[in-house]
């Protein structure tokens, strides 16, 4: 059995506006272990296609996705099977999971495959590579490690969308930095990748080269399975703040 574990250290680069995606509903529950979270969709690079699972062969592959710490199945995780067609085009096939977090594929053609598994609120594991046929049945176990998330809304003191600027998350004790752009066309929401537990510094910057303005720095603590929601209110030149919209970073829950 192949055991897939995971870790994440890195930097996110803000994508162009036309490549940004809409985050899950900010009204969602704070508890990431909720059995019905918004599914996480894998990005589809140029030149790749999403197609039904390949059939027509006799090769078997078993997949299981579980919560590493709780030992519970993650039936709502997204699993993709990556494979190439006869033209060499990389294809991605969604793999449905049963309520016990497993899938059994029994008619795969011979060939090389990669399997990806992700779920919101967990660190994404590296892909598992499989070559079929194999000398014995292949079973992949993905044990996903719970993570923390920091998400929130961006607004200006006069209620205008925050269409530029970025949110920076950093660890005072580790060299981890994430730059987060607004993630929908209105520019009023952001969401972190899966985060380690601990204290994070949150800053709003007009550009990576600038320093945060007054009130645009805060320290927050997060733990695994927690989604910490923030409201960042930005004051820009010429704006008059409303009575209930002072600039700053506010914890919502």
CA distance linking residue 3 with residue 1, whole number of Å: 6
pLDDT > 70 in the chain, percent: 77
Structural domains of the chain sorted by starting position, each given as residue range(s) with its CATH number in brackets: 33-144 (2.60.40.1120), 149-251 (2.60.40.10)
What is the CB-side half-sphere exposure of residue 11 using CA atoms within 13 A? 10
Question: What is the rounded average pLDDT of the residues 14-32?
Answer: 34
pLDDT at 31 > cutoff 80: no
- pTM given for the model: 0.75
CA distance linking residue 177 with residue 172, whole number of Å: 10
Which residues contact residue 226 at a Cβ distance below 8 angstroms, ignoring those fewer than 6 apart? Answer: 30, 32, 148, 149
Question: What is the rounded average pLDDT of the residues 138-142?
Answer: 97
- How much is the pLDDT for 6? 28
CA distance linking residue 231 with residue 156, whole number of Å: 10
The secondary structure of residue 37, as a DSSP letter, is: P
């Amino acid at each position: 059995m192949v055991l897939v574990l995971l870790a994440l250290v890195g930097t996110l680069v803000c994508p162009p506006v036309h490549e940004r995606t809409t985050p899950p509903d900010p009204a969602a529950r704070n508890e990431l272990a909720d059995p019905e979270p918004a599914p996480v969709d894998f990005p589809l690079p140029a030149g790749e296609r999403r197609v039904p699972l390949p059939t027509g062969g006799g090769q078997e592959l078993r997949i299981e996705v579980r919560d590493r710490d709780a030992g519970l199945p993650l039936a709502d995780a997204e699993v993709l099977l990556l494979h190439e067609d006869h033209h060499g085009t990389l294809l991605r096939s969604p793999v449905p999971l049963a309520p016990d977090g497993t899938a059994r594929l029994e008619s795969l053609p011979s060939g090389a495959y990669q399997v990806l598994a992700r779920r919101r609120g967990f660190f994404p594991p590296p892909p598992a590579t499989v070559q079929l046929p194999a000398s014995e049945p292949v079973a992949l176990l993905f044990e996903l490690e719970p993570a923390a998330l920091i998400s929130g809304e961006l607004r200006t003191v006069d209620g205008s969308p925050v269409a530029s600027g970025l949110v920076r998350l950093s660890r005072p004790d580790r060299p981890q930095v994430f730059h987060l752009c607004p993630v929908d066309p209105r520019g009023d929401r952001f969401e972190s990748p899966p985060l380690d537990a601990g204290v994070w510094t949150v800053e709003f910057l007009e550009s990576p080269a600038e320093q945060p303005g007054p009130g645009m720095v805060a320290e927050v603590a997060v733990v695994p399975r927690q989604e910490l929601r923030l409201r960042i209110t930005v004051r820009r030149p010429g704006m008059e703040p409303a009575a209930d919209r002072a600039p700053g970073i506010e914890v919502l829950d």
